[in-house]
Structure 1
Amino acid sequence: MAKNDKKEAAEPNKLAMIILAAGKGTRMKSPLPKVLHPVAGRPMIEKVIQASKKAGATDLRVIVGHGQALVRSVVEPMGVSCFVQENQLGTADAVKAAQVETIEGDVVIMNGDHPLIEAEDIKKFITLFREEKCDLAVVTAVVKKPGEFGRIVRHKGDLKAIVEAKDASADTLKIREINTGIYIAKAETLAEYLPQIKNHNAKKEFYVTDLISLCIEDDCKVMAIKASPKVAVGVNNQQELAHATKLLFKRKALRLMEDGVLMIDPASTYVEESVEVGAGSVLFPNTFLRGSTKVGSFTVIEPHVFMSDSEIGDSVQVRAGSYLEQAIVHSRASVGPYARLRPQTTIGEEAHVGNFVEMKKVKFGKKSKAGHLTYLGDAEIGEDVNIGCGTITCNYAADKKKYQTKIGNRVFVGSDTQFVAPIEIGDDVVIGSGSTITKNVPAKALAVARGKQVIKENYTPKAPAQPKSEE
């Protein structure tokens, strides 16, 4: 042990994570690996990895098996190492697959289907584990309905055993303190006792819970660390997936309100953890904000707005039913109702994008307006421009390439105008309604391109006389 003591002294705060993600998740009734099912918008294992990193883990090892190619595609870009559990022989077998003999310091073992875990939770477990100088610990929680969880049996306050629900007596089943499936151990403890676990059970599997009894029998320092019931929330079926999502959205809503965000109905407002919203902003019911979205202060997001990876300034109004993806809206602008801003669209300060207006890859200038029923794509629109109803930039040509429309400052575009790109419109231009503009227009010009109106008087023939009906 002297050698191990030296290793621990050299790396007193080194932390490793073993995240179990090899299971099939048959109760999900889904072809997608269980840990990749989205909880509040992101794969649940992603949340476990993020919490682990924030807690200070520098060595993260994910155990993969079923659907490993898909799991790897999600977790490896996050900087973790994947280890394969070749056969489903139980949780201890999965931990062995992590090559524990190559790990140093303290190790947290947990499942990849616990999306409610947070960095602060892990930090608390580790701090208590180290303060008590434990060799092994199991994280427990007291819950209202223990169900199929293993029960924590104590004697004079100390951990005595973990009894699985199927093996428990009627009295033991009354115990409400359960095993969350999270363990903390010294690396050398795992290396020593994992090989001693036997598969003497009906399923012929190796269970990590057996570490507890082995270490207790060997007079190691073992303890049960009580945690919040949320730590015990795992996901095994679609109902639990929906419940976990609801809890995460609720947690985010509470934190936003604590920071001064107004919510009309938090229960029907869906904001992902990664989203930022400034104080004084108002979120109406049935809004969905996701990804890297940032919303400034004093902005109003009306009902049924979907916003993804977008940046919204201060004092913006996004009216009902609008859809924004990878868009930027500067301060004091208004969008909607029922507007769509597609990727690479930027709306300038005090600009107005009205109902049933769609923009894609557009720079829309300060104080410019597009009131309704308009499509603008691959365009640069100057400041203080008026875009009339029914205006279209014809950016997609017969050669299957897209071309750009450039419109200068203070341009007035009449209704039902088409700009056939590539085309440039100078400053202070007036475009007559109903025009199809195919040539560049210089500054301060009037452009009208429409068929000549023809009037033929007395053109409508008289209606034939109707026969009189016989009486």
Structure 2
Amino acid sequence: MQNITTVILAAGHGKRMKSSLPKVLHNISGMSMVEHVIRVAQSVNSENIVCVVGHGKEQVKAQLKDAPVKFVEQNVQLGTGHAVMMADEYIEAGDILVLYGDVPLLSESTLNDFVAMHQKDDNDATVLSTIVDDPRGYGRIVRGSKGFERIVEHKDATPEELDINEINSGIMIVKAPILKTLLKQLENNNEQNEYYLTDIFGLILEQQGKIGVMIAEDDYEVMGINDRYNLSLADEYMQKRIKKKWMLEGVTMISPASTYIEIDVQIGKDTVIYPNSILQGNTVIGEDCIIGPSADIKNSIIDKGVSVKHSTIIDSKVDEKSSIGPYAYLRPKSDIGKHVKIGDFVEVKNSRVGDHSKVSHLSYIGDGEVGTNVNVGCGVVFVNYDGTHKHLTQIEDNAFIGCNTNLVAPVKVGKGAYVAAGSTITEDVPADAMAIARERQVIKTNWSNKYQKKV
């Protein structure tokens, strides 16, 4: 492809969203709308990606601080033509691709075909259109015997033109020298006193230029998001696209409609995802996993052969062949080894649990290091917080921690050591020792007879 500069129009207010958040920052499947547009622009190897910001510009810039974009400002919104004028310093050579920050569903394949058609046909400008059942409110593409004739806005269309179902998406690509020249010729003599970018097509035809039109097969790809209802439709569409991709890659989804998968999630083949599961952020799921039902996993790495049922995992790692849940909660910085069992109602936070260890139920593992082949009994608590600081609990390999034990950090249980059930451990337990830290049982015979009612 020839040199391409992409200009993304993202300065609008979006009043119909009824939100303090700029419209282009609203989320679709784990990414803001404008970030979806930036990503698709990258697919055509844009040399420069220029984002025109205005309303909420500081929020938009903050959100995109790590994105490969340059910013120009449109502090007064005077139309699409005026917005592109703000990027004049970047309109120098090659082709200028104009995209919209609130049109996030355009696919890489459609955009690449669009750019390829424009450059292959050596068009001065090319517009992306689509066919819709209800074209009300959209500008119509009017064609004649020689192809494209003009774009007519709905309010200006004749009855015959109102019957046209091919609409203008607003997405276009124009040779840079032509665009740079024509932007200076745009006028704002209309009811809104705005500069319309689409007016350049008439100017190109007046100069005997060549304009091409490509029809996007799926009208959803060019749908603009104007309100929360549009946002929900866009998210639903994106979800279908994401889930179809993974199912075609060998992932089984028992109930796709009840599963939510964000765009950057990765899933290995032969993994089965059960209903009501949510996979978010930069989560990576390995092969042959069982995810769900009702698994909620965010920014975590789940290795091959892992089972996660009715559990939440955040910013953590689970190594291969381990079992999580039901009803477990892995909080940030949990690192679970191989062949580990984290059972029901177990909470783990900022801790490493070594290979072949078991924390089967009703325990809290916080700020801990658990070795290999350790058994942590029911109701064990790592008492990690003294009211000011967090402290470390260490359990070395092959240790056994009995039920209802409190390990008061900082404390260490040595290799092969045993801690008796019901103990509160405040001092280190040497390797291979037995620690008992509880009151000796006392039995008082015939004691309850004084308190039982006579029958």
Matches within 5 A, 1:49-448: 49-100=38-89, 102-156=91-145, 158-228=147-217, 229-320=219-310, 322-398=311-387, 400-448=388-436
Cα distance in structure 1, aligned partners of 2:135 and 2:362: 57
Corresponding letter in the other structure for 1:55: V
State the secondary structure of the residue aligned to 1:27. Answer: helix
Cα distance in structure 2, aligned partners of 1:393 and 1:34: 45
Aligned length: 453
Partner residue, 1:454: 442
Deviation at 1:231, TM superposition (A): 2.5
Cα distance in structure 1, aligned partners of 2:122 and 2:277: 48
State TM-score, norm by structure 1: 0.94
- Gaps of at least 5 residues in structure 1 are 1-11, 467-471
Cα distance in structure 1, aligned partners of 2:90 and 2:31: 32
1:27 alignment partner, one of 9, 13, 16 = 16
CA RMSD of aligned residues (A): 1.4
Contact 1:151 1:175 survives alignment (8 Å): yes
Cα distance in structure 2, aligned partners of 1:147 and 1:413: 70
Contact 2:268 2:285 survives alignment (8 Å): yes
Cα distance in structure 1, aligned partners of 2:257 and 2:33: 21
Deviation at 1:41, TM superposition (A): 1.6
Contact 1:429 1:442 survives alignment (8 Å): yes
Cα distance in structure 1, aligned partners of 2:168 and 2:80: 14
Deviation at 1:462, TM superposition (A): 4.5
Corresponding letter in the other structure for 1:453: Q
Matches within 5 A, 1:26-45: 26-45=15-34
- Gaps of at least 5 residues in structure 2 are none
Contact 2:43 2:112 survives alignment (8 Å): no
Q: Which shifted more, 222-231 or 441-450?
A: 222-231
Corresponding letter in the other structure for 1:302: G
State the secondary structure of the residue aligned to 1:196. Answer: coil
Deviation at 1:359, TM superposition (A): 0.5
State the secondary structure of the residue aligned to 1:77. Answer: coil
Q: Residue by residue, what CA displacement relative to the aligned partner does 1:330-381 show, whole Å, maximum 9, x if unpaired?
A: 1111000111111111111111001111101111111111111111011110
Deviation at 1:121, TM superposition (A): 2.2
Q: Residue by residue, what CA displacement relative to the aligned partner does 1:214-263 show, whole Å, maximum 9, x if unpaired?
A: 11111111121222323212211000101111111110111111111001
Corresponding letter in the other structure for 2:46: A
Q: Give structure 1 regions of 4+ aligned residues with deviation exceeding 4 angstroms.
A: 462-466
Deviation at 1:326, TM superposition (A): 1.2
Contact 2:5 2:90 survives alignment (8 Å): no
Cα distance in structure 2, aligned partners of 1:327 and 1:465: 60
Corresponding letter in the other structure for 1:456: K
Identity %: 38
Deviation at 1:119, TM superposition (A): 2.5
State the secondary structure of the residue aligned to 1:185. Answer: strand
Cα distance in structure 1, aligned partners of 2:170 and 2:224: 9
